[in-house]
Amino acid sequence: QVQLVESGGGSVQSGGSLRLSCAASGYTYRRYCMAWFRQAPGKEREGVAAIDSDGTTSYTDSVKGRFTISQDNAKNTLYLQMNSLKPEDTAMYYCAASSGWCLLTLNPSAYAYWGQGTQVTVSS
């Protein structure tokens, strides 16, 4: 059974940094995509960053140059380093993983497994 558990969320002031982690268990696919999504109250879920098993990455325009997605295969952990945070980054952040090979994408329909989320709040 695949489990994704996020951690690292919190409250920071504008301009601050946070690093989110997503620990994966029971996930044995060798070819895959993993991603971070976020959802603010009253808004649709938005793809933030994605990475595939080759290490290729993709970012939504609003976070390019500020966020970095990475993975530690030895620890089965996905990370999202968030710098220069802005109040508009405030949201629940979710980790997601595909069920096998995927074409790298920020479309949530491509992801079969989801974590419970971790809250990020950025104050001005």
% of the chain beyond a pLDDT of 90: 90
Q: Are 119 and 65 in contact (CB under 8 A)?
A: no
Q: Are 107 and 35 in contact (CB under 8 A)?
A: no
pLDDT by position in tens, the chain (length 124):
999 999 999 999 999 999 999 999 999 888 899 999 999 999 999 999 999 999 999 999 999 999 999 999 899 999 999 999 999 999 999 999 999 889 999 999 999 999 999 999 999 9
> What count of Cα atoms within 13 Å lies in the side-chain half-sphere of residue 120?
31
Which stretches of 26-109 are assigned E, i.e. beta strand?
Answer: 33-39, 46-52, 57-59, 67-72, 77-82, 91-97
Per-residue pLDDT tens over the stretch 9-36? 999 999 999 999 999 999 988 889 999 9
Residue 52's nearest CA partner among 7, 4, 106, 116 is 106
